[in-house]
Amino acid sequence: MRPNLVCYCVVKILVAAFYSIQPFKVKELAELKEFLKFRSGELGIMGMTILSPEGVNSTMSGEEQSLKSFLGEIDEKYFPKTPQFKLSWSQKHPFKRFSLKFRAEIVTADFAPSRNLISQDIETGLISPSKFRELLKKQGGVTVLDTRNDYEVMLGKFEGAIDPQIQNFKQFSNFLEKADLPKDKPTLIYCTGGIRCEKAVGELKAKGFREVYQLDGGILNYIEQFPNDGFEGECFVFDKRVALDQELRPTENYQLSFETGFPIPKILKE
C-alpha cells in the first residue's frame, strides 16, 4: 500500500518598490487612483501607494505573474519615463491591504519641491552603484552623506558615511545649515531607494555644494549588485519585513516595537 504523499507548495511573494517624479494633473491622479484600486483588487495586489501632483511613490506585493503584469500595465499607461522597479522576495505579503494616499509631496520635506524637482537638473548627479562603489573607496576624497532617519541608519549604512541624526526627512535642511561639511569636494548621497535623494540633491546644490552625486536606485539597487561590499548591516524598509539583509531577504535580526513602531533587535525564542 502506497503512503499518502502530501505536497507543500510554498508561494513566494514578489515585492516591488518604485517611484516616478513627474507632474500629474488632478484629473490624471483621479484616473490613476481608480485604475490602481480596480486592478489591484482583480490581481490580488497589496501595498502602499502615495499619489501627489509631483509624482508617485509606491511599494507593492503580489504573486510574481500578477505583480509583473500589474507593473507592466501601469508603466505603459501612466509613466512616460519608465521607473526603476526594485524587486525582492517575501514568504508572505508585507502589507495587509492595498492602500492609496493623496499628499502634497511624494516624500515630505521642509523645502520647496518645485525648486528641487522642476528647476534642478537632478539627473546629471545620478551615478551607478559601480561608480558609487569606486568613489566610496576613495573615502578621503569625497564626503559620503546618509539622508535617512536615525532609526534607519542604526540598522546599516555605508562605510564612513555621515549620519545626520535626524528623526524625519523634514529636518534634513536644518542639518545642512548647521553641519560643517566641505562644499568644495564631491558629496555622495544615498537613501533606501532614491526618492529622498531626488530632493536632497537639489537642497545641497541650493546651499552651495558644488558636486553632488546621488546613488541611482539607492541602497536596494547597490546591495543587489554588490552584497557585503561597502554597505554594512541591513537596510530598513517601510513594511512588515522591517529590513532586508545583504541578499535582499527579510531580516531575521529585527522587529518593530509595539510601543514605538521603531525597529528593535528581535527576541529570539529558545
Residues designated catalytic: 191
Q: Grid coordinates in use for 114?
A: 518645485
8 Å CB contact between 56 and 102: no
226: left (phi over 0), alpha (psi -120 to 50) or beta: beta
Q: Grid coordinates in use for 178?
A: 548647521
Three-state DSSP class for residue 180: coil
Task: Using alpha carbons, list the distances in angstroms from residue 265 to 61, 257, 268.
Answer: 25, 9, 9
8 Å CB contact between 195 and 57: yes
Task: Using alpha carbons, list the distances in angstroms from residue 231 to 43, 158, 234, 244.
Answer: 35, 4, 8, 12
Three-state DSSP class for residue 198: helix
8 Å CB contact between 73 and 85: no
Angstrom distance (rounded) from CA 129 to CA 221: 7
Long-range contacts of 118-124 (CB under 8 A, 24+ apart): 118/23, 119/202, 120/201, 120/202, 120/205, 122/198, 122/201, 122/202, 122/214
> If you write DSSP's letter for every residue of 64-119 in order, what string do you get?
HHHHHHHHHHHHHHH-SS----EEEEESS-S-SSEEEEE-SSSS--SS-HHIIIII
